[in-house]
Structure 1
Amino acid sequence: MKIQGKMFLWLSLFVLVMAAVYGVWSKEPAGTTALFLAFGLCVMVGYYLAFTARRVDVGAGDDKDADVADDAGELGFFAPHSWQPLSLALGGSLAFLSICFGWWLMYFSAPIILVGLLGWVFEFYRGENQNQ
């Protein structure tokens, strides 16, 4: 993670310089704002990866002599059969369509998003997946 954190922090410096150059040359506010927001996102991801790399063990990605097989193993726990991402995708799609067709469509998409989000958060607190 240490290498990825450094890569994102260097990328953020590049994006910052390009945002300044683009803003001076083009005098176009939308693209300049988008580049400065991309700079902020790169800084956030880079800081998170660098901060986390100090607290966890060295991974195979940080070892120059590591093999591909050294990174094998369990990566975490994932829900085996969850329908909640589908409802969030449907609600998000309707929300973005409301920008095109009219804001009234947001009245239908917001409840779908809320149901999907709450269902995903509390998925393992009820029903067959409940931890005992």
Structure 2
Amino acid sequence: MLAMERIGYILGVFAALVAVIYGFWNEWSEPIGVVCLVVTALLGFMIAGYLNITRRKLDGVPPEDDPLGEISDIAGDYGFFSPYSWWPLWLGVSCALIFLGLAIGWWVVALGALFVIPALVGWVFEYWKGPHAL
């Protein structure tokens, strides 16, 4: 976790320096690039800050920072994943239709929204009833 925190700080400092250099290079006449680089710097600092706070709350050395640690020290439960769910496919197709509608026309966005709502509800409540209920 300490290495990831350092990478976040390095990304933040690098993006901030590049934002200043980029601003001076084009004499602050093009603000979009500077804004994007500043936001990238802030996101790098945000990730590093979150990892710093999380690392300080843990007791002792996290397993990934222990030089004598074993791979099995990090093992744990990653959660429950559906083995054969079709709902993410329909949700992805619906979202692609919505984003395609942003380029083509608003009527395609409305059509995609009609498909995304049942796909999202179906995915959320997939294990609510039926043979695979939890």
Q: Which residue of the other structure, out of 39, 45, 48, is the alignment partner of 2:47?
A: 45
Aligned to 1:9: 9
Distance in 2 (CA, whole Å) between partners of 1:76 and 1:59 is: 20
Instruction: Indicate how the Cα distance of structure 1 residues 64 and 104 shifts in structure 2: closer, same or farther if over 3 A, else same.
Output: same
Aligned identity (percent) is 36
Please say if residues 6 and 50 of structure 1, whose CA atoms lie closer than 8 Å, have aligned partners that are also in contact: no
Per-residue deviation, residues 103-122 of structure 1 (Å, max 9, x unmatched): 22110112333333333333
Per-residue deviation, residues 42-80 of structure 1 (Å, max 9, x unmatched): 233323333333344644321123344544454333222
Instruction: Indicate how the Cα distance of structure 1 residues 48 and 107 shifts in structure 2: closer, same or farther if over 3 A, else same.
Output: same
Aligned to 2:64: 61
Three-state SS of the structure 1 residue aligned to 2:83 is coil
Given the alignment of the two structures, is residue 92 of structure 1 paired with residue 79 of structure 2, yes or no?
no
Given the alignment of the two structures, is residue 25 of structure 1 paired with residue 60 of structure 2, yes or no?
no
Q: What is the deviation of 1:95? A: 2.0
Q: What is the deviation of 1:19? A: 1.9
State the one-letter code of the partner of 2:113.
A
- Consecutive unaligned residues of structure 1, counting only runs of 5 or more, are none
Distance in 1 (CA, whole Å) between partners of 2:121 and 2:20 is: 41
Q: What is the deviation of 1:12? A: 1.4
Q: What are the within-5 Å matches in structure 2 for residues 93-132 of structure 1?
A: 93-131=96-134
Greater C-alpha radius of gyration = 2
Q: What is the deviation of 1:101? A: 1.4
Deviates more, 1:94-103 or 1:116-125: 116-125
TM-score by length of 1: 0.74
TM-score by length of 2: 0.73
Instruction: Indicate how the Cα distance of structure 1 residues 14 and 60 shifts in structure 2: closer, same or farther if over 3 A, else same.
Output: same
Distance in 2 (CA, whole Å) between partners of 1:123 and 1:46 is: 36
Distance in 2 (CA, whole Å) between partners of 1:109 and 1:84 is: 15
Aligned residues: 131
For the aligned residue pairs, the C-alpha RMSD in angstroms reads 2.6
